[in-house]
Structure formats: structure tokens, C-alpha cells
């Protein structure tokens, strides 16, 4: 135990030791953007499924006895909703990204990823066999240059481009149209993590990559535990790639299948997206108000999305600012390296339908006061 205690003490000394904290204050930190996690639409669907005998657990992997009709119904509905070749349901977004990037790119291939790509993608790339290189954040020319240099050096495999459509810590958007053009011109595959765009952006909440789905060179990952209010993730891809994942992906083959009840909840969430566009409209109005207020009251740049980063530099400053906000009744968390780059510790303010316009206005006012005290 000693070495682990020493490691924890070292983390504490560097201001990086984490601990679990209870929910407290008005929600400005969750990813429950459409307030679906506790919504009656999902609760009623789950209650009906339990009454009909849908089990809480799958009882095994999908390739054994764990394959439930609710899994298959969700995948068929998701493929139609997102307009892709096929969909495969994983237990979470981390698992889905890991499965894709540890399996699909081959040893002779090249993976070009945005420098701010999520940890799940990094772990998948680390477990895979392909060469991996970093491109500058949201810089399509940097991606293209990396591929061109690799080809010039004799690279003969296939390039893979890996990005998030909306970045989880900055709230900014990837240049998807430019990246799709590069993928077509360079015969590359484009993997797009839609985690923070699913349900929030695009027609029917289909995400920022909605216009690209169905292409043979595009794979999208739609997380179900954020705006959809449930759990899991859907890999949307050409049907042969989904079939290949079923046959060769160890995280899929050797894991107990997600709860069939979660598949029920995700299906209910997709119905809400189709039938209640007013939710997205309300969130869009709220995030616009929050972005404008943040710029006007705190002189901070607007992200244009539901994710508002307040970068303060040092981890200790971010924690003090978060503590001040929590003391004023707002659940806002500090984000430190290595989750974000060194020198960019921040508050990550999340705008959701769990807090209305008055609460957003009060939070911005509290942030203005707290920033003044921190200075």
C-alpha cells in the first residue's frame, strides 16, 4: 500500500489529487443538456419495460445469451435516425472509442488526431498498431499536411482522421466540412466523436456531423449518457465495419452487454428528440443568453455552445474559483491538467435545461463577483 499512498501524496502536493464530491447547488456541471436524465418520458418507458419483463441485466456478452431484442431494436432505430449504414450499442463512449481505435487502423496505417482529442481515443490509439501523429487543434491544413508528409515518406496504408465535433473542455467546433473533403481526397477514414453535439445540434438533434453520416468514409460515435440522459454509446458506421466490430472487437466480444433497460431509455430519448424540438430550441436560446452574458459581464470569449470554459491558468486558482461558486449555490467544477493542457486550468460551465434563464443570470453574476475576488 505504501507506494500507492506515496503516489497519492505526490498528487496532492501537485494539486492534482481528486476525490468524489456529492451533488450540491444548481447544476452547471453535468452533461444532461436536455434535462432528460430524470424526465418522465424516460421513467415511463423504463417502468413499462419492467412491467413487460425486460431484465435489468443482460446476463452475458452479446455473442452469448446477452443479446436482447431491446439492443437490436435500438440499433435498428438508431441507424434509421442517424441515417447511417448500421449502429452498434456499447456500454459507454470511452469503450466505443477505445474499441474503434484499438482495432480498425492497421499497422501500415496512419492515425492523425486533434491535439485536444479525448482520453478514450488516446487510449484506443495506444492499444492499436498504427502510427499516430498529432494535428493542431481545429486546423484542417495541419491534418492534411500530416497525411501528405506521411505519404511522401513512403506511407502506403490508409489514413485515419480522429476528431470531436464539439470539444468537451472548450466548447468549440471542428471544421468538419474541410476534414470530410480531406478524407475524400486522401482516401482516409474520418472518425467523429459526437458526444457533446448529439441531441443538441443538427436536424432532430442528430449532431454536427448529420450531413456526413451514411458516407463510406465516416464513422460517428453518439454518446447516450449526455444529452440523451441514459447510458452507453452508439457507433454509427458502414454496415461491414459494424459487422467487423462484432466479429473482432475484444471490448465488444468479451464484455457483458449493456442493460436492456438502458437500450429502452435510449430509444425513448431518440423519440423525444424527434417529437419535442422545443427542448433543443429552449437550450439554444439559453446557451445564446449565457454566451452573451459571459462576454458582457465577465469579458470572456464566448464558445457559441453549451460548454463555457473560464480559463484561469493554475490548477489552484481554478479550484478556489470553483469553491467560491459552490459557496454561492452553483455546482461548477474546476478542471485541471492532465485533463486540460498545462497552464489552462479552468471552470467548465455547462448550460443545461436543469437551470433556467434566471438561474443562468444569477450564476453569471456570481462568477463576475468570484472572478473579482480571485483577482
* 19 flagged as catalytic: no
232: left (phi over 0), alpha (psi -120 to 50) or beta: left
* 137 flagged as catalytic: no
Catalytic residue among 102, 165, 168, 249: 168
- How wide is the angle at C-alpha 210 spanned by C-alphas 125 and 259, nearest 5°? 65
* 193 flagged as catalytic: yes
* 138 flagged as catalytic: no
Q: For the CA atoms of 84, 103, 90, 221, what is the dihedral angle to 10 degrees?
A: -40
Catalytic residue among 68, 71, 113, 118: 118
Catalytic residue among 68, 71, 196, 222: 196
Q: Which of 233, 288, 258 is nearest to 94 (CA)?
A: 233
- How wide is the angle at C-alpha 22 spanned by C-alphas 20 and 23, nearest 5°? 130
* 118 flagged as catalytic: yes
* 31 flagged as catalytic: yes
CB contact at 8 A, 74 and 267: yes
Residues 6+ apart with CB under 8 A from 272: 34, 36, 39, 41, 279
Catalytic residue among 39, 75, 193, 213: 193
Kindly report the backbone phi and psi dihedral angles of residue 86, in degrees, each rounded to the nearest multiple of 5, phi listed first: -160, 165
Catalytic residue among 138, 226, 291, 303: 226
* 170 flagged as catalytic: no
The DSSP bridge partners found for residue 256 are 61
Catalytic residue among 70, 164, 194, 213: 164
* Residues involved in catalysis: 31, 118, 164, 168, 193, 196, 226
Amino acid at each position: 500500500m505504501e507506494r500507492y499512498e506515496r503516489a497519492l501524496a505526490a498528487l496532492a502536493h501537485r494539486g492534482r489529487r481528486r476525490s468524489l464530491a456529492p451533488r450540491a447547488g444548481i447544476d452547471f456541471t453535468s452533461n444532461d443538456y436536455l434535462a432528460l436524465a430524470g424526465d418522465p418520458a424516460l421513467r415511463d418507458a423504463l417502468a413499462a419495460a419492467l412491467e413487460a419483463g425486460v431484465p435489468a441485466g443482460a446476463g452475458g456478452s452479446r455473442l452469448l445469451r446477452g443479446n436482447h431484442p431491446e439492443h437490436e431494436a435500438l440499433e435498428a432505430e438508431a441507424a434509421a435516425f442517424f441515417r447511417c449504414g448500421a449502429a452498434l450499442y456499447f456500454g459507454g463512449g470511452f469503450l466505443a472509442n477505445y474499441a474503434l481505435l484499438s482495432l480498425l487502423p492497421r499497422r501500415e496505417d496512419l492515425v492523425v488526431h486533434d491535439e485536444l482529442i479525448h482520453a478514450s481515443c488516446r487510449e484506443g490509439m495506444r492499444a492499436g498498431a498504427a502510427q499516430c501523429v498529432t494535428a493542431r487543434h481545429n486546423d484542417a491544413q495541419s491534418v492534411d499536411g500530416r497525411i501528405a508528409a506521411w505519404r511522401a515518406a513512403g506511407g502506403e496504408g490508409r489514413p485515419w482522421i480522429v476528431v470531436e465535433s464539439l470539444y468537451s473542455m472548450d466548447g468549440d467546433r471542428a471544421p468538419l466540412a474541410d476534414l470530410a473533403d480531406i478524407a475524400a481526397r486522401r482516401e482516409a477514414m474520418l472518425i467523429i466523436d459526437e458526444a457533446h453535439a448529439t441531441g443538441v445540434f443538427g436536424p432532430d438533434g442528430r449532431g454536427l456531423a448529420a450531413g456526413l453520416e451514411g458516407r463510406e468514409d465516416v464513422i460517428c460515435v453518439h454518446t447516450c449518457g449526455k444529452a440523451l440522459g441514459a447510458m452507453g454509446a452508439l457507433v454509427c458506421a458502414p454496415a461491414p465495419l459494424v459487422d467487423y466490430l462484432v466479429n473482432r472487437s475484444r471490448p465488444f466480444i468479451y464484455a457483458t452487454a449493456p442493460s436492456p433497460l438502458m437500450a429502452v431509455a435510449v430509444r425513448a430519448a431518440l423519440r423525444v428528440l424527434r417529437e419535442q424540438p422545443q427542448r433543443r430550441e429552449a437550450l439554444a436560446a439559453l446557451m445564446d443568453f449565457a454566451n452573451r452574458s459571459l462576454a458582457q459581464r465577465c469579458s470572456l470569449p464566448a464558445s457559441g455552445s453549451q460548454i463555457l470554459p473560464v480559463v484561469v491558468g493554475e490548477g489552484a486558482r481554478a479550484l478556489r474559483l470553483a469553491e467560491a461558486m459552490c459557496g454561492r449555490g452553483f455546482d461548477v467544477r474546476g478542471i485541471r491538467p492532465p485533463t486540460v493542457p498545462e497552464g489552462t486550468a479552468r471552470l467548465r460551465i455547462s448550460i443545461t435545461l436543469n437551470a433556467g434563464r434566471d438561474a443562468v443570470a444569477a450564476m453569471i453574476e456570481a462568477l463576475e463577483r468570484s472572478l473579482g475576488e480571485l483577482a
